Every structure is written in C-alpha cells, then in structure tokens.
Amino acid sequence: MNAGSYLLYQLLHYDVEELQVVVHCFGEDAYVFDKTIKIVTKYKGNKTSESVLYDLWQRGMKGYIIYDVAKKGTPPDTGFAPSTGWGMIVVSSPKVSNYDEWETQVNASRIIMNCPDETDVKAMCAWMKRGLDKDKQAGYWKKVEKHMEKVGPIPRHIFDEGSYNDRMGAVDDALLAIKDTDAGKYFTLGGEEKKWYSEYPCHKLVKIVRERKVGDAEVFLNAPICADIEFRIADRLAKEMKAKDLLLLILRSHGALISHLLEQLGLRAFMYGELVSALVEELKELPPPSPSKPQDSVLKVNHQGYPTRTVGLAGLQGGVERTPMEYGVLYIPAVQNFPLVDGFFFVDSPRKTLVGLQMTTAGAHHTIPSTVRLFIERMAEYFNGWEELSRDMSWEIIYIQHENSTMITNWQRCGPANTENLTDDEKEIVAFWNGNVHEYQFVLTTDFVNKIREK
C-alpha cells in the first residue's frame, strides 16, 4: 500500500486553520501544497526545497512533510524540515541506510507498517471498479484474488495481467536462487539486527511483519509474502538444508516466527530419514481413553515409512481432479485453514495408517466432530476411492511443539467433555476418534538438536 499517498490524502483534508502546507518529497523533487490558496508547486533540488520551506516557516505557516525515499535511496538531510512548528515523516523500505542518520539526528520515532492484506486489496478493487455492475466487479476480484494467491497482495503486480506475469517470472527466478544459507532472509528479524535484502532476489518472496518485543519496542520480521510462496520457499529450503540446520533454524525462532517455522519447515523435517529415526524415540504417547490401549507409532516399527517428497493440496474452489493416494508422499495443504492437521502422509505397513501432523504452540488442541467430518470429506474430494481406502485405516496424530511452547500433556479429545447433547452423527465421529486415533507428542528441544548434530 502506498503509505505516502494515503498520508497526503489525510493531511490535505486536515483543518486548514491547523495545517496550511503539506509537502510531498520524492528524492530531490518536492511538491508543495498550499492549502490556503489551493495551489501545488513542484520544486527540484533539496537546497531549493529547503529554501522554500524556510520561507513558508518565516511567514508563520504550519506544515507537514512526507518524505518518500526514492527506490535507489536518497535519505533526507537532517536539517531539511524547519526547526519548529513543522512535522515530518520519512517513508522507506526497511533498508537502514535510507533513514538511519536522519532518524538519529532528529530523534525520530519508528512506525512499522504491515503489508496490505486481502481486505485492503478487496477494498481497492471495489473502488477501482465502482462503476461496473456486480457481476463484472466479482469477475475482476476473482482474477485479482488468483494473482494475489501466487505473488502476494502487492498492488503494482496484481491488477495488471502483464505486471503479474512479469512478477511470476521474477518469483520463479528468486526461488531457484535459494541456497542453504538463505533461510534467514525469509524467516528472520530485520532492521538494524539483520540486513534488509532489498537488493537481492529474495525480496520478491518476503513481506514485512510488524511485531512488538518486550518493552513495546517495535521490530519487523521477514516472512513469506503469501501461502503459496511460503510453501515453495519451505520446499526449496528443505531440499537445500541438512536436517540439523533445519532444526536449528526452527529452534532459534521466537515470537510470531515460531508458528510459521513449525508449520512450514517442521512438516518437512519428516522427510529426513535420520531425523525420523531419532524423532520416533522421543515420541510421547498421549494416553487414549478406555477401552483403547496404548500403541507404538507405526513409524517406530517401520523406519522406512517416512515421506520422501511433498505434494501441495490446492484449494477446492472450482473443483479439483481426484488423484490416487500414494505412500511416501507428504501432503501439505497449500491453502489456509485446512481442517484438523497441517499435513499428513500414509504408511502401508505394519498396518495401513494415516499419520497427521499438527504443529502447535498451544497447551491444548482439542477438535470437534464437524472438523473431523470436514477432514474426511476433503479426503474424499482429493483422493480416488477414499471410502474403500480408508476402511480399516488407523489414524495417528503427532503434535509437534517448540520447546518454548505451552506443553500438551493429555489426550486431545474430539467434542466436548460431556457428549450427551451431541447428535447421533456427532457421537459416531467421537466414537471413531476415541477408538481409531492414537495421539503422540514431539517437542523440539536443544538437547534433541544436539544429539542430531553429534551423529
């Protein structure tokens, strides 16, 4: 979202008695809006602009300066704004050299903005196509939504087909350029503590996420710009990184990043044979309700049952083509809010088993019958002959947690503790859950990573 244009709009509509002048700067170009006479004048060169602003200040006019740092980076002079009576904001990417000297000299406060989200983009579409009938508006939004799913909610790349195609090519090139040492560029802190990679291909794959630290200090995180790119980044990193490095990256995460890394990279950790062999030894079974008996995970018996490749499950909008179910494949939904699990795979021996993987930082992750029913319906929509395939299939749910999470300690039930008010269909699902599902917990700890590193 163009923050500078938004601020300009707001300031131009501000009470003229309180604010007579608004200045919008782009590098050495300054547009001076005199609200008292409703005239805008363009000035070129910082010295000329400073002289004009000083003259306005001497005449007793109050103003506000919006300084947009140009793409190549033209930081403002520390004395650009009049010393009193005027406000100033510098709008920049997180590249520190764009603003650090000015920020220090004038003791400026930092404001970190998130990227626009789906709601923002939908509002833009509604405004841009406000004169069209509802069907045409809906058709335009559907096209923009598809673009946004692939390249993220970046206005300059999603409204025009040509710009979108160019961006898709740039995204593909950036993904191919990923190396095993690049993980920090996609899931790390930015600002002074880490370099902002605006000059590198990876900036086409990430967005800024605002977060507050202890003491209300603001920092920004680099995070994948959309779910589809997040999936593709994680796939590339998993192929390039060694198991121990993947685990270290997850372990060192904190704050908002823990859930991101657990979900995207933690899933792919199950594709490393050495890791799975060590992991199953650390699995803790969550005791099932009676009369079910404790049972070792199928992975403890069949060490070769882990997946060796990933397949993304697309959204169901417009329908999907059913495919044969495959063993040795890690299925990862490439859509938000997939029911019940974050990913799953199938093991054929010693018993036919669906292994669901749920990444969580919470101390409880109970589910409800409608979620289980929806998951079963999704399986039938994705896989040929699911009803026959799933007959006599055992289910295992593995809850993967970061050592800084609130620990799960008990069986995670389906439905409320008191099932008296459930319908017959819901009671049937609860009975299935209690009788056919086995639950396990794995906690990623420093000790576990150290054991992997020693091997």
Q: Note the pLDDT tens digit of each residue in 250-290.
A: 666 555 444 555 566 778 888 888 888 888 899 999 999 98
Supply the pLDDT for residue 193. Answer: 40
Tell me how far apart the alpha carbons of residues 184 and 150 are, in angstroms, rounded to a whole number: 22
pLDDT, position 317: 65
Query: φ and ψ at 278, to 5 degrees?
Result: -75, -35
Burial of 3 (0-12, 13-18, 19+ CB in 10 A): middle
Name the CA dihedral angle for 95, 96, 99, 100, rounded to a multiple of 10 degrees: 180
pLDDT of residue 13: 93
- Residue whose structure tokens are 């609130």: 406
Contact predicate 18/87, CB 8 Å: no
- Give the integer Cα–Cα distance in Å for 411 and 32: 65
Q: What is the pLDDT of residue 186?
A: 54
Number of H helices, E strands in the chain: 17, 14
Residue from 99, 206, 234 nearest 197 by CA: 206
Token pair in block for residue 160: 């025009």
Q: How far is CA 446 from CA 33, 211, 259, 379, 443, in A?
A: 58, 25, 17, 36, 10
Residue 403 near residue 251 (C-beta atoms within 8 A): yes
CB atoms within 10 A of CB 85: 11
| pLDDT in the model for residue 407 | 92
Q: Are strands 63-68 and 21-26 parallel, antiparallel or unpaired?
A: parallel
Q: What is the pLDDT of residue 445?
A: 86
Residue 287 CB-half CA count within 13 A:
4
| Vertex 174: Cα angle to 168 and 178 (nearest 5) | 145
Token couple for 423 = 């319908």
Give the burial string for 113-122 (b: 16+ CB within 10 Å, else e): eebbeeeebb
3-state secondary structure of 60: coil
pLDDT in the model for residue 41: 94
Whole-prediction pTM: 0.69
* Residue 450 burial (CB count, 10 A): 11
Distance between CA atoms of residues 284 and 293, nearest Å: 14
CA 366 centroid distance within chain: 24
Cα gap 415→428, rounded to integer Å: 11
Give pLDDT, residue 192: 39
> Residue 3 has what pLDDT?
77
394-402 β-sheet, strand order: 284-286, 437-444, 394-402, 353-359, 343-347, 329-333, 309-313
- Give pLDDT, residue 242: 73
Residue 388 CB coordination number (10 Å): 7
In terms of C-beta density within 10 A (0-12 exposed, 13-18 middle, 19 or more buried), how is residue 150 classed? middle
Label residues 220-234 b or e (16+ Cβ within 10 Å = b). bbbbbbbbbbbbbbb
Please give the backbone phi and psi of residue 346, each rounded to the nearest 5 degrees, phi first: -120, 140
| Per-residue pLDDT reduced to its tens digit, 77-109 | 878 888 888 999 988 877 777 777 788 888 888
- Cα–Cα distance, 46 to 28 (Å, whole number): 5
Question: What pLDDT sits at residue 222?
Answer: 74
Within the chain, which residues score under 70 in pLDDT?
1-2, 70-73, 180-202, 214-215, 243, 247-264, 316-319, 455
Which residue type does 363 have? G
pLDDT of residue 164: 95
Please give the C-alpha separations between residue 434 and each of 253, 277, 395, in angstroms, as whole numbers. 34, 27, 11
pLDDT at 346: 97
Residues 6+ apart with CB under 8 A from 383: 322, 323, 324, 325, 389
**Model pLDDT, residue 49:** 84
